[in-house]
Amino acid sequence: MAVFIQWQTLMTVSYTGPMAYEIADWRRQINDLYAEIRRMDDVSKAWAHWRVTREALFRDHPMSPLSDAMRRDFGGLSAYDYDPALRFAVDLVPRSGDAITYDLADDGVMMCRPIAKTVGLETHLGGELTAYWIEGYGGGLFLPFKDATSGDETYGGGRYIIDAIKGADLGLDGEGRLILDFNYGYHPSCVLNARYVCPLAPAENTLPVAVRGGERL
């Protein structure tokens, strides 16, 4: 469980030619960003670096989910202020269950199977979360969540805190526990552009409290 892979919301197009190289570069840059964050000791400065770098990619990268018109007027991604109380180190216990099937339109079907449950969030956030494994070659963890801000201050379909393919995770602490920092919770790309199809957070990953950290509407 020590290696987590980031998964980006898929566009409903096929990646060929230069576009394939551009999406590969986008993923590489996000992977590098999280690797830099994991090496930083000051967690608030690390989060600020995440914000600045992510916004630069959204503004300048050819595979930004923003349209050309949106990029011309882009003033940054809305987010809550950093709250150190929303950073946790949690244990994981095995959890089994049926896979969730996501229909991603032109990109086909994605299946995610529950594999673990967090231990350590309920005291602070009123509940625990399920981690999913994206089935298929390579796989990858996927941990979306909703909370009491969903549908009002944040997207109703939830936000992502761990996802697969690009390596956007904060790793483990010195005792082997998974670091979940909700200040890094971010919206799927469909919130910004209707040509994307988003896997949404399942009902069981709904926290009963307002998690005012990470991206907001």
> What's the pLDDT score for residue 137?
75
Which run of H or of E encompasses 208? none
Chain mean pLDDT for the chain:
87
26 vs 57: CA distance, rounded Å:
8
pLDDT tens digits, one per residue of 73-116: 899 999 999 999 999 999 999 999 998 887 666 666 778 899 99
Q: Is the pLDDT of residue 161 over 70?
A: yes
What pairs with residue 118 in β-bridges?
92
91 vs 101: CA distance, rounded Å:
26
pLDDT tier at 178, thresholds 50, 70, 90:
very high
152, 211 Cβ separation under 8 angstroms: no
149 vs 23: CA distance, rounded Å:
31
- The percentage of the chain sitting over the pLDDT mark of 90, rounded to a whole number, equals 64
Kindly report the pTM of this predicted structure.
Answer: 0.87
> What's the pLDDT score for residue 198?
82
What pairs with residue 6 in β-bridges?
164, 165
135 vs 42: CA distance, rounded Å:
35
pLDDT tens digits, one per residue of 112-160: 899 999 999 999 999 999 999 988 777 889 999 999 999 999 999 999 9
206 vs 208: CA distance, rounded Å:
6
173, 199 Cβ separation under 8 angstroms: no
